[in-house]
Structure 1
Amino acid sequence: MRHQFSPDLESPHAPTVAQCLRPPRAGRFADTRASSSLRHLYRWLCRFMPSLAAHLAFRQLATPPRSAAGRWPVAIRELTRERRLSNGSSELAVYEWGHQGPAVLLVHGWGSNATHLARLVQPLRNAGFRVIAFDAPAHGRSTGRTTDMVAYAHAVALVARHAGPLHAVIGHSFGAAMAMYAARDWGLAASRLVLMSSFNDCNRFLEMFARHVGLTPDVLRRTRELLSQRYGGRLDWGRMSVTEMLRQANRPALVVHDENDEEIPFEHGLVMTSALQTAQLKATRGLGHHRVLRNPEVIRRITAFLVD
């Protein structure tokens, strides 16, 4: 399958490391007065109490912000079936539409919830798909106050197993990366993959946080070790490339990314599509990191990709 770039956005030059790692200009990791104050605190802690700094960073990193759940569109509100799925000592809120048709799983991003993907549901139902969405651990109506990459990806795989055979997974931002992590390490299988506004390496998420609070390299290393130790070394930071996970999945993939995404630079999408023969790129302009989720043209492109 040939890469499909928008003609006016195609570039013969591979993105540089600096482009992929440049600081976000918007979103929860953008510079603000509050983040400036936080950096002053961490600067002192990193210098005089590095172990405490790492533990505080670990705790802060594992505590997602709670965003208010939106309302499901009128067309699907009465058709929404909500149930609780046991996830060890916690519960996941799972939402379903339709009893028949190929199943499509929606995976939201960090600090978000299932309702943020609501505009996708009706078009997918109209195309004959059964749609499943859920609130990740410590998000939305699911229980818990903290989570992390391993717990998040495990939850994706758990919902997928209960949904039955999947035709496709559609993930946004952090959720797209966690869907790929679930595919590699927890056996999530889908015939087609859609990654929207995703970073190309999970280390990017930790690096964004480290820059946001001003962690020193030593404290960042300690924080990584705390995350790895929590799962007995299962979280291997050297194997967290989303591009490589996508390559290993070896499925037709659609990468959707906005040229003006101020949270995760457009170059991340270019890296993934440039590296994979099975990937297509839907490039947009002016939609940013979140409006891409409700753009009619993007939704039509995703639906067509799943039907094709």
Structure 2
Amino acid sequence: MSNTIIKIIGNSLNAISYISPKYASDKALDLFATPRKGRVLEKQKAFLDSAETHQLKHENLNILTYNWKGTGKTILLAHGWESNTHRWEVLINQLKALNYNIIALDAPAHGASSGKQFNAVMYSECIHLVAEHYKTDIIIGHSVGGMATGFYQNKYQNKNLEKLILLGAPSEFTGVFKRYVDMMGYNKRIENGLNNLVLKRFNNLPSYFSLATFAKNIDTKTLIIHDVEDKIIPYNDAEMIAENHKNATFITTKGYGHGLRNEIVNNHILEYIAS
């Protein structure tokens, strides 16, 4: 959205909050949870069609999975916000050349999966579903895909998982929420209303959903890669996760931004998988 549209929406919901704070907060949360991009584009189909696809059911959602078959370890790829499986094309081709068994999923409301809304908790349940179905050995998650991967492993403690790789992953849900509130210019009525809605839906306040805190409970070997010039997720988030994780390797990059789509980053990933 343009800055002008953001300002109009923010000011409009702020005005409504004086009359109906719950309605304004509901609308603000719906906007936060609704991706505007990430569906499969025509130019992405040829690559995605090269995989074997399968639909898995999570509650009322159809989650599309892709499988590039190989005889090596099974690696699951979880993309980030407003993206889809295509974002992994270069890495997938490198993994295929090494004969790994590659699985990827499109998150709810992304790619070819169904749904209109998305959140990291829901995504973590979908990752659990896919990891169990395919007997995953390694999970690689980018951005909120990395956060959801951490949420999943904290909750389910999958002892069969050998390694996790978190790329540009946010740590604190409060930070994600606060950046959204600040971007939209919401007032305290809406901000407090958003916190209460999260408590109602997930039985915990946003502060509970902290990957840095959850990392204390994760024994799985984990590679964390984060760029110091990431303008989407602060570098400090990765530092907090790494500090609390007893079995983590932390690699800092510079100049690759939030996307981390770079040959050097991919080489770090491949080396860690093979180690």
Report the TM-score, using the length of structure 1 for normalisation.
Answer: 0.81
Corresponding residue SS for 2:224: strand
AA at the equivalent of 2:235: F
CA RMSD between the two structures: 2.2
Distance in 2 (CA, whole Å) between partners of 1:51 and 1:59 is 12
CA offset digits 1:76-123 (Å, max 9, x no partner):
666411111122222111001114221111111111111112221122
- Alpha carbons 2:38, 2:81 under 8 Å: kept: no
Calculate percent identity across the aligned residue pairs: 22
Distance in 2 (CA, whole Å) between partners of 1:188 and 1:66 is 31
Counterpart among 124, 134, 137 of residue 167 in structure 1? 137
Alignment partner, residue 273 of structure 1? 242
The answer as to 2:169 corresponding to 1:198 is yes
Alignment partner, residue 285 of structure 1? 254
Counterpart among 189, 192, 207 of residue 221 in structure 1? 192
Alignment partner, residue 10 of structure 2? 39
AA at the equivalent of 2:194: T
Distance in 2 (CA, whole Å) between partners of 1:196 and 1:240 is 18
Report the alpha carbon displacement of residue 187 of structure 1 after superposing the two structures with TM. Answer: 4.3
The answer as to 2:225 corresponding to 1:239 is no
Distance in 2 (CA, whole Å) between partners of 1:226 and 1:277 is 33
- Alpha carbons 2:39, 2:110 under 8 Å: kept: no
Change (3 A) 1:77 1:140: closer
Distance in 2 (CA, whole Å) between partners of 1:176 and 1:51 is 31
Higher relative CO (Cα under 8 Å, sequence separation at least 6) belongs to 1
- Alpha carbons 2:74, 2:138 under 8 Å: kept: yes
Alignment partner, residue 305 of structure 1? 272
More divergent stretch after superposition (236-245 vs 197-206): 236-245
Alignment partner, residue 56 of structure 1? 27
Report the TM-score, using the length of structure 2 for normalisation.
Answer: 0.90
Distance in 2 (CA, whole Å) between partners of 1:299 and 1:146 is 30
Report the alpha carbon displacement of residue 277 of structure 1 after superposing the two structures with TM. Answer: 4.0
Alignment partner, residue 110 of structure 1? 81
Alignment partner, residue 51 of structure 2? 80
Distance in 2 (CA, whole Å) between partners of 1:187 and 1:274 is 20
The answer as to 2:68 corresponding to 1:101 is no
Q: Between Structure 1 and Structure 2, which shows a larger proportion of helix residues?
A: 2
Alignment partner, residue 91 of structure 1? 62
Alignment partner, residue 22 of structure 1? none
Residue-pair matches, total: 273
Alignment partner, residue 210 of structure 1? 181
CA offset digits 1:239-287 (Å, max 9, x no partner):
2111122221112211111121111122222222233342222222211
Change (3 A) 1:138 1:68: closer
Structure 1 residues 141-156: aligned runs within 5 Å: 141-156=112-127
Distance in 2 (CA, whole Å) between partners of 1:207 and 1:297 is 32
Corresponding residue SS for 2:18: helix
AA at the equivalent of 1:182: Y
Corresponding residue SS for 2:112: coil
Distance in 1 (CA, whole Å) between partners of 2:53 and 2:212 is 33
Report the alpha carbon displacement of residue 148 of structure 1 after superposing the two structures with TM. Answer: 2.4
Alignment partner, residue 129 of structure 1? 100
- Alpha carbons 1:127, 1:303 under 8 Å: kept: no
Corresponding residue SS for 1:82: strand
Structure 1 spans left out of the alignment, 5+ residues: 1-27
